Structure 1
Amino acid sequence: MPETGDAAPDFTAPLANGDVDSFTLSERLESEAPIVLAFFPGAFTSVCTTEMCAFQDRLASFNDLDASVYGVSRDSPFTLNEFRDQNDLEFGLISDYNKEIIDDYGVAMDFADLGVYGVAKRSVFVVDADGEVTYAWVSDDPGVEPDYDEVEAAVEDAA
C-alpha cells in the first residue's frame, strides 16, 4: 500500500462520467492535481452511498482548491454511471472491474461470509502534481467513513 511520500501507482481504467471514457492517473495529474482517489467497496450500498454523497456535498470546496475527486470501485462503468445519476454525483467514478488498481494500492478486502471477494477497502489517497501520495487513509472497517475535514486539509496542503 502506498504511504505518504510514496509514488502513487499509475493506472488506466474506465471512467464513468455520464459516458464511459478512459482515465490515466499520470495524464490527469498534469491538469487536475491534486487528485483525491476515494476507494469504496460497492455502489448502491448504504455507507458507500453516504460517503460518495458527502464528497459531492464538499465538491465546491475541492473545486476551490483546484482539486479533482474520483471514486474508485470494482463496479462496472455502467453500474457506476447509474449510481452517479441516482445520487446526482458530479465527479467521475473509476471502474476497477479487474481489481488491478485495488491490488496496486493494496486495499483489497473480502466479505467471505457473503461470497464477495476482492472489493476495495474504504480508503482515500491524495496525489499531488508530482504523482506523490500526500495523504493516505485506509479503514479495515467498511462501516467507517473518512474524516472529510482531514481529507480537505490534505488537499489544501497538496495544492
Structure 2
Amino acid sequence: MVETGDTAPDFTAPLANGDVDEFSLSDHLDDEAPIVLAFFPGAFTSVCTTEMCAFQDRLSSFDDLDATVYGVSRDSPFTLNEFRAQNDLEFGLISDYNKELIDDYDVEMDFADLGVYGVAKRSVFVVDGDGEVTYAWVSDDPGVEPDYDEVEAAVEDAA
C-alpha cells in the first residue's frame, strides 16, 4: 500500500470534468499541488455521495491553500460526469475504469456478497509538488468517511 513518504504512483486516466479529458498526475504537480486524491467505491451510493459532497463543501478551503481535489473511482467517465452534475461537484473525478490506479495504490476491496469486485477502498492521499505522498488514509470499512479536518490540515502542511 502507498504510504506517507512514498513517491505517488504516476498515472494517466480519463478525467470527468463536464467533458472527458486525459489526466496525468505528473503533468499537474507543478501547478495544482498539493493534490488530494480521494478514492471512493462507487458513484451514486450513499456514503460516497456524502463524501464527495463534503469535499465540495470544503472546496473553498482547499482552493485557499492552492490545493486541488480529485475524486477517483472505477466508474466510467460518463457515469462520473452525471454524478458530478447531479451533485453540483466543481472538482474533477478520475475514472479508474481499468482498475490500474486501485492496483498501483493498493486499495482494492470487494463486496463479495453483492458480486462486486475490485472497487476502491475509501482512501485519501495528499501528493505534494515533488510527487511525494505527504498524507495517506485508507479505510477497510466502506462506511467510514475520512476525517476532513485532518485531510485539510495535511494539505496545509504540504502547501
What TM-score do you get using the length of structure 2 for normalisation? Answer: 1.00
The alignment status of 1:104 with 2:119, answered yes or no, reads no
CA distance in 1, matches of 2:30, 2:18: 23
CA distance in 2, matches of 1:60, 1:84: 17
Structure 2 counterparts to residues 74-113 of structure 1, below 5 A? 74-113=74-113
Extract unaligned runs of 5+ from structure 1.
none
Match of 2:128 in 1: 128
SS of the aligned residue for 1:38 comes to: strand
Structure 2 counterparts to residues 46-61 of structure 1, below 5 A? 46-61=46-61
Letter in 2 for 1:70: Y
- Would you identify which runs of 4 or more consecutive aligned residues in structure 1 move more than 2 Å? none
Q: State the 1:121 CA deviation.
A: 0.1
Match of 2:63 in 1: 63
What TM-score do you get using the length of structure 1 for normalisation? Answer: 1.00
SS of the aligned residue for 2:28 comes to: helix
Q: Deviations over 1:52-106 (max 9, x none)?
A: 0000000000000000000000000000000000000000000000000000000
Letter in 1 for 2:125: F
Q: Deviations over 1:129-151 (max 9, x none)?
A: 00000000000000000000000
Extract unaligned runs of 5+ from structure 2.
none
Match of 1:152 in 2: 152
Q: State the 1:2 CA deviation.
A: 1.1
How many residues in Structure 1 have an aligned counterpart in Structure 2? 159
SS of the aligned residue for 2:84 comes to: helix
Match of 1:3 in 2: 3
SS of the aligned residue for 1:41 comes to: coil
Q: State the 1:30 CA deviation.
A: 1.2
Match of 1:34 in 2: 34
